[in-house]
Structures are given as C-alpha cells and as structure tokens.
C-alpha cells in the first residue's frame, strides 16, 4: 500500500493525519482524496487500502455506528467502537469477501476524559497505542515518534512532531504526498492546520 497516515495522542487530545493520494500500484489517480472520516462527534478513522474496499468498509462502519447512536440514544465510546470495528475486520478475513483496509482509529472518551488511538490491520489485529504510523510512514517515522513523544506532550509539541514525521516521509520516500489532519478532543473533531494552528 502506498498510503501514509499518522496518529499521536496527548493527555486530552488525538491528532490524526493522512495522505490525500488515491491510486493503484504506481498510478496516482487523485491527489485530493480525504482519507480521514468522522464516525461520530468525537471519533475519527484514518484509513488506507484497496480503493473500493476502503470506501465500502468506512461507509458500513459509519452507518452502523450512527444506527447504534439512534437506537440507544448514546454515542459509542472509542474503546467499544474499536472492538466493533475489529470484529468486522476479523469476520471479513474469514469470509469470501475480506476488506483490504488498514486504519488508525482516534477518539476522545468524554466519560473517562481520556484520548484513545488504535492501530488495526486487515486481519483484525487491534492495538491501543500512544502514537503510530500506518502504510509507508511506518518505515521512516516511528523512530522519530519514539524519540520525541512523551505522555504529557502538548498540542503544540504534537503538531511539531506530526510535521517532523511528514517532513521525514517527504525526505526519505520516492512517493510525494500531500496531507490533511484532524484534532479530536472533548470539544469534538476539527481540521488541524499542519502549520500548527487548529
């Protein structure tokens, strides 16, 4: 997969960034594709994989989470939402129609007052992480995150770290990406300007 996405948590926020390219193999078909989807008021997914699979999967997840919210009159918190999404992936891989989708799920739990970030792969593997990369970003940005991330990282420092990771990808990889980002906290989801302003 030629996608690239990043996630960073702080004490009370999550930053998600994803590239905006869409293509297959060595062909780029689009360079303005938004691959971060808001699933609920405080939950977002950055995804990558086969173009048809990603759209079908994300639409299916988004609609089912919305249906849950309508039926129970409550927004699903990040932890149970991640378990639900993991189950969909795990069941799909054992069927005749697996989803070739890897994703980062970021959200804010308003009840427990904490941020969540999950890494998931097409096989249904789910890991809660403080920071991560997906796609090609794994190869060049995890060491940068290891070096500069710490548990009480501020929003400004997390934004600078995200910029460092993006710069590392642009420096070391032959693919050229443009990125978009979102910030998730107790106030919901908003676009995050990669120059550092929310």
For residue 9, what are the β-bridge partners? 14
* 96 lies in some domain: yes
* 22 lies in some domain: yes
* 197 lies in some domain: no
Selection from 155, 135, 127, 124 nearest residue 8 by Cα: 155
Q: Is the pLDDT of residue 167 over 60?
A: yes
Distance CA 87, CA 4 (A): 24
Tens digit of each residue's pLDDT (9 = 90 or more) over 84-99: 999 999 999 999 889 9
Q: Is the pLDDT of residue 45 over 90?
A: yes
- Number of domains forming the structure of the chain: 1
Q: Is the pLDDT of residue 185 over 70?
A: yes
* 129 lies in some domain: yes
* 138 lies in some domain: yes
Alpha-helix runs per DSSP H in the chain: 51-72, 78-93, 137-148, 155-172
What is the domain-level CATH number for residue 8? 3.60.20.10
Average predicted confidence (pLDDT) for the chain = 92
pTM: 0.93
- Using the CB atoms, write b or e for 81-116: b if 16+ within 10 Å: bbeebbebbbebeeeeebbbbbbbbbbbbbeeeebb
Distance CA 7, CA 23 (A): 22
* 170 lies in some domain: yes
* 78 lies in some domain: yes
Which helix (DSSP H) or strand (DSSP E) does residue 186 occupy?
none
Domain extent, residue 159, equals: 4-191
* 196 lies in some domain: no
């Amino acid at each position: 997969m030629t996608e690239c996405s990043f996630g960073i948590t702080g004490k009370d926020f999550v930053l998600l960034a994803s590239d905006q390219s869409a293509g297959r193999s060595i062909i780029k078909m689009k360079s303005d594709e938004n691959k971060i989807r808001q699933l609920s008021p405080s939950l977002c997914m950055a995804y990558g994989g086969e173009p048809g699979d990603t759209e079908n999967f994300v639409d299916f997840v988004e609609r089912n989470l919305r249906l849950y919210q309508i039926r129970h009159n409550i927004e699903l918190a990040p932890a149970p939402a991640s378990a639900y999404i993991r189950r969909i992936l795990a069941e799909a891989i054992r069927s005749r129609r697996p989803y070739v989708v890897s994703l980062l799920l970021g959200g804010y739990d308003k009840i427990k007052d904490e941020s969540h970030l999950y890494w998931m792969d097409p096989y249904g593997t789910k890991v809660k992480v403080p920071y991560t990369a997906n796609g090609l970003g794994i190869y060049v940005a995890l060491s940068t995150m290891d070096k500069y991330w710490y548990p009480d990282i501020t929003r400004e420092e997390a934004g600078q770290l995200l910029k460092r990771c993006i710069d590392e990808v642009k420096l070391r990889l032959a693919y050229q990406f443009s990125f978009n980002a979102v910030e998730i906290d107790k106030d919901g989801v908003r676009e995050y300007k990669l120059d550092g302003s929310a």
